[in-house]
Structure 1
Amino acid sequence: MYALVDAVSFYASAEKVFDPSIRNKPVVVLTNNDGCICAVCPLARRLGIPKFIPYFQVKALLEKHSVVIRSSNYELYADLSERMMNVIGRFCDNQYIYSIDESFLYFDHYESCIKDWHEYGKQIRKAIWKETRLPVGVGFGDTATLSKAANHAAKKLSGFNGVAVINSKTSRDEILGRMNVDDIWGIGRKIAKRLRLEGISTAAQLAEQDAKHIRKQFSVVTERTVNELNGINCLSWDEVKSPKKEIFSTRSFGQRITTKDELRSALVTHAAIVGRKVRRQNSLIKKLMIFASSSPHDDLYYKQAIAYPFILATENTCEMANAVNQVIDTIYQAGIPFYRCGVGAIELTSKMFIQPDLFMPDHTNSNVMKCLDNINHRYGDSTLKLAAEGQHERWQMRRAFLSPQYTSQWRDIPKIQC
């Protein structure tokens, strides 16, 4: 049995944890530089406020309904995510954190221990709410895809109240019959559009299709999805937990930058973020993509991207910073008001299976990187960082509606008066 535990509108819910005064108010959270709406709490969703729409287009609507607006508080979200995952991990010995607000559980030979999956899901929800004040949905299914579908039902379909279980044909047909085909994990918009042209508009209709025919019409991935919807495990637990093949860190600037040193500082900062994520999944980087651009709306649009290969695969942030230094003269161009930049690890390999070179010195220095990560994990991101990242980050993103960083800044620690 698989389970997927997913927070309800995580960013918006996280904003309400330490601010009870807005728990019963509609809340939306904005993306980088307060550009678009990226999270909408259930109360705000009932007002018809959509996600991924520019903030300025709905500003009047938000003011009309007294909607609480927040900038993305990533420091707070990361801390609450870790707390939530720790609680979830107590309910199963095989956990995989799929994203900042999603966690898969795999129950192997648990049948004798858990008699009522629905009741077990309620226990998980209750524990998370008690310890983090985050609302979650819990979905159980015989396959990873069915657990995703059950989680969708738990959060978005009436009659489930946060927990749904797909462990029989009856429960499967009931839930899949109420889901659109593009609500299924692995079915994107393009495939959903093609399926609808074939008369397949619901998840139940997709499950009824012949898997081999679907493979011929679409792909082996869609064939697997059909089989998974019918309770046939096609995604092994290792595949569900497979590490990312590419890792990027990219962001538009709060204000345009025009100097080489500022651009270098921004790129090194993104390289440090990529390095931290790469080490977290126990990978090494073979090739790095480094890029920067002006705005596509500028009269003269400028973009430059360079792929930098490493002779030996690395996880060392210092080597990544050196790569930025090697290409900065090619990327930077005087007179360009840079709007966006980023760094991406586009070719990764597992640290477990790397072949060292007898004649090339290894500068990976894993122990130093481990020490760096441990200190930053304990005392907060950027407690230690490279000098090349800079101290005065004028290029940092705009966050005009930022809430206090309750758990990561001493000045913002909640004060309780008794």
Structure 2
Amino acid sequence: MYALVDATSFYASAEKVFDPTIRKKPVVVLSNNDGCIVAASPEAKNLGFPKFEPYFKLKHVLNKHGVVIRSSNYELYADLSEKMMNTINQFSDQSYVYSIDESFLKFDGYASIVDSWYNYGHLIRRTVWRRTKLPVGVGFGPTPTLAKAANHAAKKFTDATGVAVIHDEVTRQEVLSRMDVSNVWGIGRRLTKKLALMGINTALDLAQQSPKHMRRQFSVVLERTVEELNGHQCLEWDQVKQRKKEIYSTRSFGERVTDPSALKAALVTHCSIIAKKLRQQHSLTKRIIVFAHSSPHEDGFFKKSFIQSFPVASSDSTVLAKAVEQIFDSLFKPGVKYYKAGVGAIELEDDNFQQADMFNGSQDKPQLMKVMDQINKRYGTTAARLGSEVQSTGWTMKREYLSPRYTTRWADIPTIKC
């Protein structure tokens, strides 16, 4: 048996954890620079506010309905996600974190331990709520795809209770018949339209197709989906997450940037971000790409990028930052109103199998980076930074409605008055 546990409207729910005054109010969370709505609580969805709509278009209506607005608080979300996953993983000896708010569990040999999967699901929900105050849905099924379908039923069906179990042919057909094919795991918009032309509108319609025919018409991926919907396991999650082959850090600015110090500070910050991600997955980069450009919607569009190579692959923030220093004068053009900038690590190596260079030694300082990572893990992501990161704050992202970072910033620790 498999289970998929995920949070309900995770970003919006996370905003309510430390602020009980808004727990019953509609909440929407905005994207970078407060651009679009990226998350909405169930209360906000019931009012009809769609995701991915520009905030400025809906600002007046949101205010009229008393909707609480929040900027994306990534530090808070990451910390709450870790707490939620640690809690969920206690319910099975095999788990796989699928995304920031979703985790698969696998149960081998649990039949003699668990009397009722339905009750077990509610135990998971209660435990996660008690420890994190995050509402979750739990779906059980004999395959990962059916567990995902059950999770959809647990949260979206009109008679949903937060837990759903597909454990026999009756429950399988009932759930799949009530489920639109677009909600099947891995079925996107284009594929949904093509399947509709074939008269395949529900998940049950798809499950009743010939797997081989679906493979010929579409792909082996859809063939496996059909098999999984019929209870035949074809998908396996990775025991160890695959390392990324490229790592990017990019962001548009809260306001147009014309100051060279501000642009350089932004690029160095991106270097620190990708260097940290490299260290987390035990990788090194042989080359980075550095770019900056103005808005393509404004006159005089300007874009420039450089690829910088390293004699010895690196994951040291200072080494990557030094590379930015070397090419910055060629990248920056006075008078340009920069809209976006970023850095990408594009040629990665495993740090356990590094190709040494006879004539060039590594410039990395692993002990220094280890200490910096430990400080930032304990005291917040920006507790220890490179000096060139903070030489200017004129480039920073606009987050006008940012809530306190309750768990990662000393000044924002909740105060309890008795």
TM superposition score category, shorter chain reference: over 0.9
Post-superposition offset of 1:364: 4.4
Please tell me the residue identity of whatever aligns with 1:357: A
Q: Tell whether 2:6 aligns with 1:6.
A: yes
Q: Contact 1:98–1:241 (CA<8 Å) still a contact in 2?
A: no
Whole-Å Cα distance in 2 between the matches of residues 410 and 344 of structure 1? Answer: 31
Q: Map 1:221-232 to 2 at 5 A.
A: 221-232=221-232
For residue 48 of structure 1, report the CA deviation from its aligned partner.
Answer: 0.3
SS at 1:238 equivalent: coil
Say whether the 8 Å CA contact 1:9–1:41 is kept in structure 2: yes
Q: Structure 1 residue 368: deviation in Å?
A: 3.4
The runs of 5 or more residues in structure 2 that have no matched partner are none
* Residue matched to 1:92: 92
Q: Which residue of 2 aligns with 1:357?
A: 356
1:101-116 → structure 2 map (5 Å cutoff) = 101-116=101-116
TM-superposed CA distance for 1:38, in Å, is 0.8
How far 1:398 sits from its partner (Å)?
Answer: 1.1
- 1:247 to 1:197, Cα distance in 2 relative to 1, 3 A: farther
Are the counterparts in 1 of residues 265 and 391 from structure 2 also a CA contact under 8 Å?
no
SS, match of residue 369 in structure 1: helix
Q: What is aligned with 2:296?
A: 296
User: 1 CA distance for matches of 2:285 and 2:179?
Assistant: 40
The question of whether the paired residues in 1 share the 8 Å contact of 2:252 and 2:340 is answered with yes
Structure 1 residues 307 and 214: alpha-carbon distance in aligned structure 2, compared to 1, 3 A threshold: farther
1:34 and 2:34 correspond: yes
- Shift of residue 151, structure 1, vs aligned partner: 1.7
Distance in 1 (alpha carbons) for counterparts of 2:64 and 2:87: 38
Amino acid at match of 1:386: L
1:281 is matched with which residue?
Answer: 281
**How big is the shift at 1:241?**
3.8
Is contact 1:11-1:29 (8 Å) kept?
A: yes
RMSD over equivalenced CA pairs, Å: 2.2
Out of 100-109 and 362-371, give the one that drifted further: 362-371
Is contact 2:262–2:392 with CA below 8 Å preserved after alignment?
Answer: no
* Residue type of the alignment partner of 1:377: K
The answer for the alignment partner of 1:147 in structure 2 is 147
Q: Which SS does the other structure have where 1:212 is aligned?
A: helix
1:125-136 mapped onto 2 (5 Å cutoff):
125-136=125-136
Query: What do residues 220-273 of structure 1 show as CA deviations (whole Å, max 9, x unaligned)?
Result: 222222222222332222178434443322211111111332212111211211
Q: Alignment partner of 2:61: what SS?
A: helix
Q: 2:91 aligns to what SS in structure 1?
A: coil
> Deviation string for 1:32-83 (max 9, x for gaps)?
1111111100001000000000001111211221111111122221221122
* Secondary structure of residue in 1 paired with 2:299: coil
Task: Call closer, same or farther: CA 1:261–1:237 in 2, change over 3 Å.
Answer: same
Superposition misfits of 4+ residues, deviation over 6 angstroms = none
CA distance in 2, matches of 1:213, 1:315: 47
Find the residue that maps to 2:104 and give its secondary structure: strand
- The code of the aligned residue for 1:227 comes to E
Output one character per residue of 1:290-345: Cα deviation in whole Å (capped at 9) or x when no partner. 22221121112222334444444432222322333343334322211011112233
**How many angstroms does 1:12 deviate by?**
0.8
Q: Select between 28-37 and 243-252 the one with higher mean Cα deviation.
A: 243-252
Counterpart AA for 1:371 = V
Instruction: Name the stretch that deviates more: 369-378 or 128-137.
Output: 369-378
- In the TM superposition, residue 200 of structure 1 has moved relative to its aligned partner by 1.9
Question: What percentage of aligned pairs have identical amino acids?
Answer: 56
Tell me how far apart the structure 1 counterparts of residues 233 and 123 of structure 2 sit (CA, whole Å): 26
1:363-385 alpha-carbon deviations (Å, 9 max, x no partner): 44444333322221011111111
Provide the rounded CA distance (Å) in 1 between the counterparts of 2:344 and 2:225: 29
C-alpha distance in 1, partners of 2:4/2:243?
18
SS class of match (1:251): strand
Q: Structure 1 residues 142 and 291, CA, compared in 2 at 3 Å: closer, same or farther? A: farther
* Matched residue, 1:19: 19
Using the size of structure 2 for normalisation, the TM-score is 0.92
Q: Which amino acid aligns with 1:221?
A: V
Q: Do the aligned partners of residues 412 and 345 (structure 1) sit closer, same or farther apart at CA in structure 2, a change above 3 Å counting? A: same
TM-score by length of 1: 0.92
Alpha-carbon separation, structure 2, partners of 1:122 and 1:186: 27
Stretch of structure 1 that moved more, 384-393 or 59-68 = 384-393
Distance (Å, rounded) in 2 between the aligned partners of 1:144 and 1:307: 41
Matches of residues 209-248 of structure 1 in structure 2 within 5 Å?
A: 209-238=209-238, 241-248=241-248
- C-alpha spacing 1:149/1:248, structure 2 compared with 1 (3 Å): farther
Is the 1:380–1:408 Cα contact (8 Å) retained in structure 2?
yes
**Are residues 1:166 and 2:171 paired?**
no
Q: 1:337 aligned to 2:340?
A: no
Name the counterpart of 2:156.
Answer: 156
Q: Give 3-state SS (helix, strand or coil) of 2:238's partner.
A: helix
1:27–1:69 CA contact under 8 A, matched in 2: yes
Distance 1:216-1:120 versus aligned 2 partners, 3 A rule: same
1:259 & 1:68 partners in 2: Cα distance?
34
Change over 3 Å in CA distance of 1:311–1:148 after alignment to 2: farther
- What one-letter code is carried by the residue in structure 2 that aligns with 1:356? Q
**Pairs aligned (count):** 417
